[in-house]
Amino acid sequence: MSKNKSSESVKVVVRCRPLNRKEESNGPAGTIIQMDLRLGQVILRNPRAPSSEPQKTFTFDAVYDANSKQRDLYDESVRPLIDSVLDGFNGTIFAYGQTGTGKTYTMQGAWLDPEKRGVIPNAFDHIFTHISRSQSDRQYLVRASYLEIYLEEVRDLLDPNHGSARALELRESPDSGVYVRDLTSCVCKSIKEIEEVMNVGNQARAVGATDMNEHSSRSHALFLITVECSQPGPDGRKHIRVGRLNLVDLAGSERQAKTGVQGERLKEAAKINLSLSALGNVISALADGRSGHVPYRDSKLTRLLQDSLGGNAKTVMVATLGPSSQHYDETLTTLRYANRAKNIQNQPRVNEDPKDALLREFQMEIARLRAQLNHRKWRSKQKKDGQEDGESWERDGDEGTEGEDEGEEVEKEAEEYVKLEEQRLERETEAIRGDQFLLAEEKQRLLGEKERMMGVLRKEQEATEQLTAKYKAMESKLLVGGKNIIDHTNEQQKMLEMKRQEIADQSRSEREIQQQVLVQDEETVELRETFTSLQQEVEAKTKKLKKLYAKLQCIKAEIQDVNDEHVRSRQELEQTQNELTRELKFKYLIIENFIPPEEKNKIMNRLTFDTEEDQWKFQPLVPAESKSSQMKKRPASAVGYKRPISQYARVAIAMGANSRYRAENIMFLELDMTPPNTTSLDRSGEAESNQSHSVDSSPTKDRGVRKSRSWCQTPTSMASSSSNVSLSACQTAAAMAAQ
């Protein structure tokens, strides 16, 4: 089956729920589904067809009938996947089927009854039991998130203001694929904590919906668990593997009637099915294998499951069926859908040392805090001993390899030091109080001094306590193999679990072999047979012909069915298209008749396409940076100055002259009484023109400067004023200073 050595197909299992009371009372029509557990086959009977019509048979990786236990499904079909996640693979389990067929029952089940706990609580047990039984050189970090997609909006179910919160955005990174930005993620240290997370999310889901049943059949719920595991590798360094598990309870797959809906309702109806129909399209495109383009971007759900379908993940799909004859069409659709999904090939690989591993960040933060604590300890020790103790600091500073009791030891040392110091200060204070030879003022001063020292000491103690608390909180988030969680199961139970798992493995492989035998039987074996007599050959070939004829009929019927379905979905799409076209025309009509063209153009010019979000957006009227004030900023003139500035002012600034003129264009000209001297003037002009380049060379500056210069320094216009001399002297000095 596999295309290359690392690819594996999506596992598809089918589960049928028992008849419910209402269906039982409906009459003896009975079930339309038969299951062959040994072969993994579902046989579907069409209640409306004549009995001569052949029944439809589908083969899956496993099938579970009405009598199946939650535990069976978990041990056989889910356990291997969770084991892979613990080894650092991505894993996805999703339940697909019509509303009321047992998706939520399969995924969550009845929490209080151990027999009826679904995939999710069993996975919690599995993950934390695994951690408690693993070796102590492994460190784990388990995180959980919970979100739902409702009407094509991603909502965080763990956000306290879930109801009013904005819809979240999807982002893509080369490291972790598609993810949800700003999604709450809770670090969980035990089964109890992760169950709490689940409960909080479920409550948010229930509160957000007026009619829970209605809501749950229209929203997709995704529970995400990330398990990070750090383990020393053969090279002696710690390697981190990250497994991500998606547990998905999809919306009901039944067709929502679209006939006769308009406007908002139409939009809603289109959105309800958008994710599911996009999922269908993605599965078809992947199963087909020929079409290069897979429309992942058509919906939020398919984007989030991009890795799970045809990417880096191991995936199990549980298709749920109802046995009642009323829902024949839906059941058939579900089975076809599931049958198609079997052909999807994934390329799972271990996520080793990804850049965004949180565990690494945690480890580094813990090391940093430990180093800080050790530093404090060293300081206390140094003070206590009253002498240098560099050696001990060097040893203590070597974090990372020391035992876990280090934190406590450090804390004890620090406490001891503080106690001693406090006692000493108190003693000294008492001594000062009791000293009769001291002057009252002197006494007061000394007491004040001691008081201050006590204050410093207390502050330091508080800081140490805070640091220790932070360190402990940080460290407690990491689970150490076989330490933080105690495994309460006894040996007997462990043995039982193992045996159960062995049985599950065996039955799985048995089924696989049976299925292979069946396929071979049909294809090759008879061809190689040799016949002793003609009669025998005729018999054998007639039998084969009959078999093949029946198969042909089945396939013909199948083709007919698929065609019918195709026509039906096409009609539906055409209808939706008609509705949308009508609406579009209506909007165009409004635009053309009621909106002035220049307004329309303004709006059109503001439109931009956001490729990340895949939709058109309005650009804000005011540029983002000046959102707070509608006023535009005054353009700056010379670089680095608040406003246009004259050369004189610059020189004055450089000279450190009267600050009043530093940023102004006002010139302060002193009255010079000496007679005018033309030669010196000429020279100063020359010098000045040379300097102008050295002082500022940028063209904008030059322009601004020349302007002011022409007013104050043109020799002809100011010839009579000798103040030019002093100005040019100023400039010469400034140029020298600048050099």
SS (H, E, C) 689-714: HHHHHHHCCCHHHHHHHHHHHHHHHC
User: Which of Mg ion, ligand ADP, none does residue 302 bind (CB under 5 to 8 Å by kind)?
Assistant: none
CA distance 472 to 478: 10
Which DSSP string do the residues of 228-259 spell out, in sequence order? EEEEE-TTSSEEEEEEEEEEEEPPP-SPPP-T
Q: How far is the CB of 323 from ligand ADP (least distance, A)?
A: 10
Residue whose C-alpha is closest to residue 347's, from 636, 9, 26: 9
Select from 40, 88, 97, 310 the one that contacts ligand ADP (CB under 6 A): 97
Compare residues 22 and 528 and give the one whose CB is closer to ligand ADP. Answer: 22
Q: Tell me the two tokens of residue 286.
A: 């992947």
Half-sphere exposure of 40 (CA within 13 A, CB side): 23
Taking CB atoms, the residue at the shortest distance from Mg ion is 104
Compare residues 102 and 348 and give the one whose CB is closer to ligand ADP. Answer: 102
Considering only residues 13 to 42 of the shown chain, the ones binding ligand ADP according to CB under 6 A are 17-18
CA distance 101 to 16: 7
How would you label 340-365 residue by residue, b for 16+ Cβ within 10 Å and e otherwise?
bbbbbbbebeebebeeebbbbebbee
Q: How far is the CB of 275 from Mg ion (least distance, A)?
A: 15
Select from 31, 41, 99, 331 the one that contacts ligand ADP (CB under 6 A): 99
Q: How far is the CB of 325 from ligand ADP (least distance, A)?
A: 17
102: left (phi over 0), alpha (psi -120 to 50) or beta: left
Which DSSP string do the residues of 594-648 spell out, in sequence order? HS-HHHHHHHHHHEEEETTTTEEEEPPSS-GGG-S--SPPPPP-STT-SS---HH
User: Which of Mg ion, ligand ADP, none does residue 18 bind (CB under 5 to 8 Å by kind)?
Assistant: ligand ADP
Q: How big is the site for Mg ion, counted in residues (CB under 5 A)?
A: 3
Kindly give, in sequence order, each residue whose CB lies less than 8 Å from that of residue 737, ignoring residues fewer than 6 positions away: 654, 655
Compare residues 89 and 150 and give the one whose CB is closer to ligand ADP. Answer: 150
User: Which of Mg ion, ligand ADP, none does residue 102 bind (CB under 5 to 8 Å by kind)?
Assistant: ligand ADP
Q: Which stretch binds ligand ADP (CB under 6 A): 94-102, 262-270, 411-419, 690-698?
A: 94-102
Q: How far is the CB of 20 from Mg ion (least distance, A)?
A: 14
Q: Which stretch binds Mg ion (CB under 5 A): 6-14, 103-111, 229-237, 372-380?
A: 103-111
Q: How far is the CB of 70 from ligand ADP (least distance, A)?
A: 8
User: Which of ligand ADP, Mg ion, none does residue 124 bind (CB under 5 to 8 Å by kind)?
Assistant: none
Considering only residues 25 to 64 of the shown chain, the ones binding Mg ion according to CB under 5 A are none
Compare residues 13 and 242 and give the one whose CB is closer to ligand ADP. Answer: 13
Q: Establish whether 103 is an annotated binding residue.
A: yes
Q: Establish whether 382 is an annotated binding residue.
A: no
Contact of 341 with 279, CB cutoff 8 Å: no
Alpha-carbon Rg for the chain, nearest whole angstrom, is 40
Backbone phi and psi for residue 21, each to the nearest 5 degrees, phi listed first: -60, -40
Contacts 24+ apart (CB under 8 A), 135-139: 135/481, 135/482, 136/480, 136/481, 136/482, 136/483, 137/231, 137/232, 137/481, 138/229, 138/230, 138/231, 138/480, 138/481, 139/229, 139/230, 139/231, 139/359, 139/363, 139/478, 139/479, 139/480, 139/481
User: Which of ligand ADP, Mg ion, none does residue 208 bind (CB under 5 to 8 Å by kind)?
Assistant: none
Q: Tell me the two tokens of residue 146.
A: 């919970």
Compare residues 16 and 467 and give the one whose CB is closer to ligand ADP. Answer: 16
Compare residues 64 and 89 and give the one whose CB is closer to ligand ADP. Answer: 64
Considering only residues 319 to 378 of the shown chain, the ones binding ligand ADP according to CB under 6 A are 320
Q: How far is the CB of 102 from ligand ADP (least distance, A)?
A: 3
Compare residues 320 and 346 and give the one whose CB is closer to ligand ADP. Answer: 320
Contact of 467 with 372, CB cutoff 8 Å: yes
Q: Establish whether 118 is an annotated binding residue.
A: no
Beta bridge partners of 181: none
Compare residues 219 and 363 and give the one whose CB is closer to ligand ADP. Answer: 219
Residue whose C-alpha is closest to residue 102's, from 301, 249, 259: 249
Sketch the per residue contact string, 211 through 230, with ligand ADP: x for CB under 6 A, - otherwise: ------x-------------
106 binds Mg ion, rule: CB under 5 A: no
CA distance 561 to 567: 10
Considering only residues 211 to 230 of the shown chain, the ones binding Mg ion according to CB under 5 A are 216
Select from 41, 101, 104, 302 the one that contacts Mg ion (CB under 5 A): 104
Q: Which letter does DSSP use for residue 227 in this model?
A: E
Kindly give, in sequence order, each residue whose CB lies less than 8 Å from that of residue 649, ignoring residues fewer than 6 positions away: 661, 662, 663, 664, 665, 666
Select from 101, 184, 226, 461 the one that contacts ligand ADP (CB under 6 A): 101
Q: How big is the site for ligand ADP, counted in residues (CB under 6 A)?
A: 13
Contact of 146 with 198, CB cutoff 8 Å: yes
Contact of 266 with 246, CB cutoff 8 Å: no
Q: Please count the other Cβ atoms lying within 10 Å of the Cβ belonging to residue 309.
A: 25
Residue whose C-alpha is closest to residue 471's, from 400, 369, 358: 369
Compare residues 99 and 380 and give the one whose CB is closer to ligand ADP. Answer: 99
Contact of 305 with 312, CB cutoff 8 Å: no
User: Which of Mg ion, ligand ADP, none does residue 17 bind (CB under 5 to 8 Å by kind)?
Assistant: ligand ADP
Select from 104, 333, 692, 708 the one that contacts ligand ADP (CB under 6 A): 104
Select from 103, 342, 370, 701 the one that contacts ligand ADP (CB under 6 A): 103
Compare residues 103 and 376 and give the one whose CB is closer to Mg ion. Answer: 103
Q: How far is the CB of 129 from ligand ADP (least distance, A)?
A: 24
Compare residues 121 and 243 and give the one whose CB is closer to Mg ion. Answer: 121
Annotated binding site: 97-104
Q: Which residues bind ligand ADP (CB under 6 A)?
A: 17-18, 97, 99-105, 217, 252, 320
Annotated binding site for ATP: 97-104
Q: Which residues bind Mg ion (CB under 5 A)?
A: 103-104, 216
